[in-house]
Amino acid sequence: MPRILLIDDDEHLAAPLATYFARFGFLLDSATRPGQGLAMLRATAYDAAILDVMLPEMDGFALCREIRKESDIPIVMLTARGDVMDRVVGLELGADDYLPKPFEPRELVARVQTILRRQRAVPAAARDQQRVFQDLAINLETREVLRQGQPVELTGTEFELLALLAAEPGRVFSRDDILNRLRGHEAELYTRAVDIVVSRLRKKLEPLDCIKTLRNAGYTLAVGKAEAP
C-alpha cells in the first residue's frame, strides 16, 4: 500500500483526506508542522509528500527546499491562490506537481497516482535497461544516473525527462511532447513547467552540456555513444 505524507496545518483536512485516500489503496499520514513532517520523512519510507504552501515555522517552499536536500521523493504542492508564480517557484525548488486550493479530493488522488505511475514507468521506446553514453550512464530499472562516473540525484520528474530524451538521442522533443510525457492528462499543462525542469536537469548534469535547445522546436539530447570496450 503506497504511503503518503500530508504536511498541512489545517487540522480538519487530514482525517477526511485519509479516509478518501484509503478508498484508492493509499495510506495517508499527516503532520501539522514542518519540523514534525521532516522528522516523519526521515523515519519512514514514504512514496510521496503533499505540502501546503502556507505553514507555520517555514512556508511550503522552504520546506520543499529542505526535503530536496535529503530526498528525491515526489512532492505535490498545495497553493492557496493558485498563482502562476507560486507554481513556478515550487517547480524550481523541485516539486513535481501543484494543486490550487480549494481542491476536489479526487483530483489530488489523481495527481498522486499520476506521479507514482510516471515514476514507475519505463519509457516505451526503451527496450534495454541501460543507456550508456560518453560521460553519462542511465539505468532505467534502478533509476540511477552517473555523470562522469559520479551519481546524480534526480527527482522523479527530472529522471523521466532525461529518460525520455535518452530513449532517442538526437531526436528533437517539442514542449508538447514533453508535457504529454511528464505531466499526464489529468494535470493542467503550461510550457513554463518544461523550461523549469530542463533548467534544473541541466544544472545537475554540469559540467556536461548535453541537453540542447533548438529554437522554436524543443530539446534534444546531444551526447556521443560510449566507446566499445
46-62 average pLDDT score: 93
For residue 183, the model assigns a pLDDT of: 60
List, for residues 168-199, the tens digit of each pLDDT value.
888 999 988 887 777 643 344 466 778 888 99
For residue 185, the model assigns a pLDDT of: 35
With beta carbons less than 8 A apart as the criterion, state whether 83 and 62 touch: no
68-93 average pLDDT score: 80
For residue 114, the model assigns a pLDDT of: 87
Residue 144 neighbours by CB under 8 Å, 6+ apart: 138, 151
For residue 137, the model assigns a pLDDT of: 92
Mean confidence (pLDDT) of the chain: 85
Percent of the chain past pLDDT 70, that is, above it, reads 87
4 pLDDT higher than 80: yes
Confidence grade of residue 227 (pLDDT, cut at 50, 70, 90) = low
Secondary structure percentages of the chain, helix, strand, coil, to 5: 40, 20, 40
72 pLDDT higher than 70: yes
Beta strands in 38-197 (DSSP E): 48-52, 75-79, 97-100, 130-133, 136-139, 144-147, 150-151
For residue 190, the model assigns a pLDDT of: 60
With beta carbons less than 8 A apart as the criterion, state whether 224 and 134 touch: yes
Distance CA 34, CA 46 (A): 15
List, for residues 127-169, the tens digit of each pLDDT value.
457 888 888 999 887 888 999 889 999 888 888 899 999 988 8
